[in-house]
Every structure is written in structure tokens, then in C-alpha cells.
Amino acid sequence: MESASIATYRRADPNAPDSTGLTDPGDAGQTSATRAQASDDWIAIIEPNFTGHRWRYVEWIAQACVEAGHRCLVITDAGYAQHPLAQRIVREARPDLRLVLLDLHTVPRGVLYAASVYMRFRDFYARALVEVQRTMPVRLVVAPYADYFFYTLAPLGSPFGETPWIAIVMGMTFHHAGAGLRTPRRPVVDLAKSLLFRRGMRVRGLRTLFTIDPTLPDWYAATKPAQGARLAYVADPFPETPAADRQEARARLGLDTNTRYLLVYGAIGERKGIRELMRALIQLGAGHDAPRLVIAGQQDDETRAFINAHAPRITPAPVIFDQFVSDAMERDLFSACDAVWLGYLKHYGMSGVLVQAYRFNVPVLASADGLIGWFCRDGSLGPQLDDLEPATIARALAALPAYWRDHENVDSRLAAGTPAAGMPDAGTPDANHLLARNTLDEFKRTLQSAMA
């Protein structure tokens, strides 16, 4: 993520005695009997934003902490008190996992905070740790999405003072042009960010920086850093959940038995390329052979208005689940659908949806840009989109049947006892692909190695 954003900011009250507006950790639904004793040390996971995939990373990191025998605090903004993950942590009331809700979205007064999203997030993280450490000793901080503030490290140092920390960066693109990825060329900006990144790696307290971009460690090693924290690749995880029976999954979702379906999944906003996809389907008109559209995930207001206005013009009508998607429903969606849309707009980082599609061995229609394009560059995972013009999307949709036929040929050969050489079993992704490392177990082991 090159330009961090968050759903809602709150402006500090200039008349309040403490403009940070932080609340006591006890207000997070915890009683004094369930709080940690002063002699206990905690690992604090700080994430002010539970939108999109971010809450999943918090959940998985918390699981890694607890499974390794550590005590873990999940710290987020009070606005996410009703989020399913927050509710689950409170409901389970584990002694080794606690939720702390603070005011992490109030923006301090000052021109610097008004002008820089990086400074705003830096302040959110710093205030969170200061507030928690008033009552709970923290021995290590984990920042699941350090893109928020990483470029502030070079001039300002660590937001966590003397407390050691580890972090993950997910969307840095300043090195992509040099690594041969298809991204916008911004020589001055990329040079500045590369210098800030290298200096940030030397900041006090940073123990390990992880990245879900496999090209970043190679770039960093080529710069021959003389000193600094360890930079390591961690594969963007997806639980190794077996696929459900296709027809049973379709029955639960209310989908037809014999229809082909194209899934658009996740936080449904402009960057999903959903507008371009729907316009292409409208242009194709009735009677086309393209798969029927399934849109699943919470929509932002502008995208919802667009979908509601344009969906009636598509035949057959899209199937729309504008809601939070549970793990069980997610499994059904990837089991039931025949292809997954990854034609994202101005998105150059990694995609968890790509990992999910790979895990379920479902072909993707993927943008040629950024890391998605890099992972899909040989065409084995599905048709690539050089742009999002209607004609390009139509050609990619027309290419999908060839992928389905290949899969069905594997099915028939396996049924006859003669699997096709060099092809994966039906429903099983190619174990030699780099995405085979994108398992939850591998993710947890990698994080646990830095927590000890």
C-alpha cells in the first residue's frame, strides 16, 4: 500500500484536556479479574484498521502467539468493537488472549498530521503502546501492516520507543520497476522511498521486517546493506481448508447446478475493477457465454450505488452477497465458483484472493500489473489482462473454457487411472508453484521464529 487510508478519522477536540482521547483498556469489555497481572509480559498486536483483509492477519498472528505459548493483546480502534473478530475474542475470554479497544482514529491537531497519512498512523501506533503500557507490560510489538508508518522511521525513529518490535509490509512498490514488474514508473518518488526504506531498516528496536512480496528481499540484498534489521519473505497465508462438494456448496449459496460462475470476492470497492467488469458484461449483452457474476463481500457506499444501478443491465443477473463473509461461506464460494476475478485497478501489491483461488485450484482472470501479474505471468493460473478495456475482458472471458477443459481432462484421466503427466490432481494446486508456500502453518512458523 503506497497511500494508506482508513475509513473514518476523528478530529481531536481542542478543548479536551487530552486530545488523544484514549480510553482505559478496562473499557474493552474486560473486568479487573480478567486483566493480566503486572508481572506478566505480553505481545501486543496493534492494528487500527479491521477493514479488508487486515483483521485476518490480526487473527492469524494472535493464533501464532498463543500457539507458541505467548500472552497476546489485540489492540484496535473502539469503532471495531462489534467486528466479528473482536466479539469472538471477548466471548472466548481466554487468559492468554485479550482485546483492548482504544481511540486510535482521533487525529492530533497540527499541520503535519493533517498533511501526512503516514504521520497520522504513526501517532495511532505510538499512542496505543503508551496507553497499554500504563497497566500491562509489553515485551514485543507486532505491526501487521507497517506500510502505514514505515516511511516515518528514517527521520523520526521507532514509534515504540525502547520496546522491540516486528512487522509486516504488504504493498511497497518502489522497487518493482527495478525488479521488472509492470507498475507506474515514478523515478523520483521511488528513489526517495527506497532511501527511506533502507534507513528505516536500521531503526532502533526493529527486530525483523517481513514482506509478502518475494521480490523485495532480493532487491534489498542487492543494495548490500551494511547493517540493519533482518528482512524476510513471509508467504501471504491461506488456511489449508479442503474444498467442499461443489453441488452442496452451490445449494447452500442458492446457485444453479449447471451454470458457470465468476467470483468477485473481498472488500468490494473501486480497486476491485468491478465497474470495468460490469461494463464489459453489459457490452457483451444477453446471450453471451461468459460465466454468471457472483459478487461477495462488504461493499463501500459508492460501489454499492454503482452495482445497484448497473446489475439490472446484466443478463443473467449477478448474484450479490453484500455482507461480511464467514469462513464457512468463503469455503463454499471458492468451492462453488468456476473462476475468480483479479482484474484489479491500480493495485500493485499481493492479493489474498489469488492465494485462495490457487488453494482451491480455480482459474483466475488476473491483471498483468504488479505482484498479481508477476505470480500469474506464465499464464498457468488463468488468462491475464493487459488492461481493463471491455474488449480485453471479453477475450479473457472467452479463454476460460480452455482452462476448464484442461481441468476436466485431468479429471477423466484420473478416473481412468492414468493421470496426465505434469498436471496436478483435480482440486489440487501444483505443489511446485511458489504459491504452494502460502499456507497458514508456514505463516505461523515464520512469525513464531521472530517472537522468541
**Do 64 and 16 sit in the same domain of this protein?**
yes
Using the structure block, give the residue that is written with the C-alpha cell 457490452: 283
**In angstroms, what CA-CA distances link 363 with 132, 251, 277, 310?**
45, 22, 16, 26
H or E segment to which residue 370 belongs: helix 370-375
Q: How many CB atoms are closer than 10 A to CB 241?
A: 16
C-alpha cell recorded at residue 221: 540484498
Choose one of 196, 214, 234: the last residue of a domain. Answer: 234
Instruction: Check residue 413 and give its pLDDT.
Output: 46
pLDDT 10s digit of each residue in the chain, 452 long?
A: 333 344 455 555 544 433 333 333 334 333 333 333 333 699 999 999 998 789 999 999 999 999 999 999 999 999 999 999 999 999 999 999 999 999 998 888 888 888 899 999 999 999 999 999 999 999 999 999 999 999 999 999 999 999 999 999 998 999 999 888 999 889 999 999 999 999 999 999 999 999 999 999 999 999 888 889 999 999 988 778 899 999 999 999 999 999 999 999 999 999 999 999 999 999 998 777 899 999 999 999 999 999 999 999 999 999 999 999 999 999 999 999 999 999 999 999 889 899 999 999 999 999 999 999 999 999 999 999 999 999 999 999 999 999 998 877 655 543 455 543 333 343 455 556 888 888 999 999 999 999 98
C-alpha cell recorded at residue 448: 513464531
* Structural domain boundaries, residue 391: 246-437
**Do 102 and 52 sit in the same domain of this protein?**
yes
**In angstroms, what CA-CA distances link 413 with 381, 425, 426?**
20, 10, 10
**Do 193 and 341 sit in the same domain of this protein?**
no
**Do 34 and 174 sit in the same domain of this protein?**
yes
Instruction: Check residue 11 and give its pLDDT.
Output: 57
Q: Is residue 303 part of a domain?
A: yes
Q: Which contacts of 385-390 are long-range, i.e. CB under 8 A and separated by 24 or more positions? A: 385/343, 388/273, 388/276, 388/277, 388/343, 388/345, 389/276, 390/276, 390/279, 390/280, 390/283, 390/284
**Do 269 and 205 sit in the same domain of this protein?**
no
**Do 227 and 254 sit in the same domain of this protein?**
no
**Do 311 and 202 sit in the same domain of this protein?**
no
Instruction: Check residue 429 and give its pLDDT.
Output: 55
**In angstroms, what CA-CA distances link 401 with 13, 373, 377, 408?**
58, 21, 19, 10
Q: Are 259 and 292 in contact (CB under 8 A)?
A: yes
Number of domains in the chain: 2
Q: Is residue 425 part of a domain?
A: yes
C-alpha closest to that of 307 among 277, 343, 344: 277
CA 219 from chain centre, in angstroms, equals: 22
Instruction: Check residue 148 and give its pLDDT.
Output: 94
C-alpha cell recorded at residue 52: 479488508
Instruction: Check residue 178 and give its pLDDT.
Output: 87
Q: Is residue 155 part of a domain?
A: yes
Instruction: Check residue 288 and give its pLDDT.
Output: 78
> What's the whole-model pTM score?
0.79
